[in-house]
Structure 1
Amino acid sequence: MTRILILGATGRTGAAILAHLPAGIEATAALRDPADTTRLAKTAASLTSTVVNIAENASLTQAMHGIDVVMNAIRLREDIAPTELVAVHDRLIEASTKANGAPARIVTVGGAGALRLPGDRRFWQDPRFPEPTLPRGRAHAMLRDHLEAGNAGSEWAYLIPPPVYEPEGPTTARWERVSPSTDETAFTRQAISYADFGAAVAETSTKDDTRTQLIAWPSELTEKHPMSG
């Protein structure tokens, strides 16, 4: 039985992941406050919770005992440093290795800021990218580079939603996984709902699939469900 630790389980993406986890999964929601259990989504998985401070190695190590997969859906806010997401990922590797003797597979909910554009540019550098989220966009680009350069082992998956990522969008159960490339401009015009992206991430929890993936609705669905974002 796969045992999963979900970081950011009470957020919108985390809730969508929980809602689509299948029966047979043992999931642990990492919370900042015990009272947050009331905010957890319903799930078919066997669900427990624990309080975790992601900035403290001891807290992370304790939460990692027996964990096979970490699903990182944390959305760090404010003016985070460009290296902050790399630091979090490295702490997860260290804690899981210390707890279990080997690193857990880490599935990270990525950011559109990491998408590649022509001229060796990233989407966070594009005028369309929202200024308030620039720090997070830069940090995601650095994390993606860190992973793809082989600096974090082989037990990882980095899943990127398109820029139009709609909290209230429909559930269609249709999405496509796009392989990364040096020019991902076309993907910046795609869209997906939180519900469908969460389902795609949940599916990854049960697959030994290690790579960067771009996940969006097929083009005809984007056109059928136009959204702002």
Structure 2
Amino acid sequence: MSNIVVFGAGGTAGSRVTAEAFNRGHRVTAAVRRPEATSYLPAGVRVVTGDVTSARSVRELAPEADVLVVAVGGGERTLWADAARTLMTTLRGLPDPPRVIHLGGGATLLAPNGTRFLDAPDFPEQYRDPALGQADALDCYRASTDGVPWTYVSPPPLEFHPGERTGHYRTGGDHPVTDPQGRSVLSYEDLAVAVVDEIENPRHLNTRFTVAY
């Protein structure tokens, strides 16, 4: 059993990771900006006010945690890199820092020609800032020399939606995992399965991996 703190537990991905971890018997703390708006989380999940870009919040929650999950969204481009920098800087002083698992962007994955999906000329403009923000966060983790263990998880770049929990998935590195038809598809529910599997059986320390069917 692990003590898991989920920053952004009220969101689409964070709520599913929270439920998946709790249902497997882990102790889960949901760190959210508005605790009163999380009644849909499983009873028994501890809900607290928390902000992953606040060193104070991280200092308060980190000592009791084995893993800090970053599942925040909906902010300015700087949100995700700010979160990464806050975590790396704040945790480095701990004798046994918790592991960081960052739910990152699929558009940071590499297309067959080696360029990022977010750099394609036809990439939707409304998603560019969040994609660039997630890319900035990945760069922060990769440049870190603080000794804080981290993992960055990317869903598919396009076909990623709420759906069915099958419990099955495949993993890859910097390129999307594709099926025989060339599609990379995943549900939020199975992303949560992959994240909790990674917590229980670490296989991607200090690197990025991707998940799809």
Instruction: Return the TM-score normalized by structure 1.
Output: 0.79
**Cα displacement string for residues 18-75 of structure 1 (whole angstroms, at most 9, x for unaligned residues):** 22215441111002123123132x27xx521211133332222112221110011111
Equivalent position of 2:161 in the other structure: 166
**Counterpart of 1:25?**
26
Shift of the alpha carbon at 1:199? Answer: 1.2
Unaligned runs of at least 5 residues, structure 2: none
Query: Is 1:136–2:134 an aligned residue pair?
Result: no
Residue 223 of structure 1: aligned partner: none
C-alpha distance 176-128 of structure 1, shift in aligned 2 (>3 A): farther
1:86 counterpart residue number:
81
How many angstroms apart in 1 are the aligned matches of 2:177 and 2:91? 36
Q: What residue is the counterpart of 2:8 in the other structure?
A: 8
Counterpart AA for 2:67: V
* Count of aligned pairs between the two proteins: 206
Deviation readout 1:184-226 (Å, 9 max, x if unpaired): 2665831111111111112112223313111001xxxxxxxxx
Report what 1:124 is aligned to.
Answer: 118
Q: 2:209 is matched with which residue?
A: 213
CA RMSD in angstroms, aligned pairs only: 2.4
Contact 1:90 1:152 in 2 (8 A): no
Q: 1:147 to 1:122 in 2, by over 3 A?
A: same
Aligned residue for 1:65, secondary structure, equals helix
Counterpart AA for 2:149: E
Q: What amino acid does structure 1 have at the position aligned with 2:10?
A: T
Q: Distance in 1 between matches of 2:92 and 2:145?
A: 15
Is 1:93–1:104's contact at 8 Å kept on the other side of the alignment? no
Residue in 2 that maps onto 1:104? 98
Establish whether residue 147 from structure 1 lines up as the match of residue 138 from structure 2: no
Rounded to whole Å, the distance in 2 between the matches of 1:64 and 1:185 is 32
1:145 Cα deviation after fit? 2.9
Aligned to 2:56: 58
Q: Among the aligned pairs, what percent are the same residue?
A: 24
Could you list the per-position Cα deviations for residues 76-110 of structure 1 after superposition, in whole angstroms to 9, with x for gaps in the alignment?
A: 43x423xx422211212333345x43321000111
Structure 1 window deviating more from structure 2 (54-63 vs 12-21): it is 54-63
1:52–1:185 CA distance, 2 compared to 1 (3 A): closer
Provide the secondary structure at the position in 2 that maps to 1:199: helix
By how many angstroms is 1:128 displaced?
4.4
Q: Contact conserved, 1:18 with 1:202, CA < 8 A, in 2?
A: no
- Determine the C-alpha separation between the residues in 1 that align with 2:38 and 2:58: 18
- Asked if 1 retains the 8 angstrom alpha-carbon contact of 2:177 and 2:212, the reply is no
Give the direction of change, closer, same or farther, for the CA distance of 1:53–1:186 in structure 2 (3 Å limit). closer
8 A contact 2:177–2:211 mirrored in 1: no
- Provide TM-score, normalisation by structure 2: 0.84
Aligned pair in 2 of structure 1 residues 126, 56: CA closer, same or farther (>3 Å)? same
Structure 1, unmatched stretches of 5+, are 218-229
Q: Which residue of 1 aligns with 2:72?
A: 74
Give the match's secondary structure for 1:27.
Answer: strand
2: CA distance, partners of 1:62 / 1:186: 37
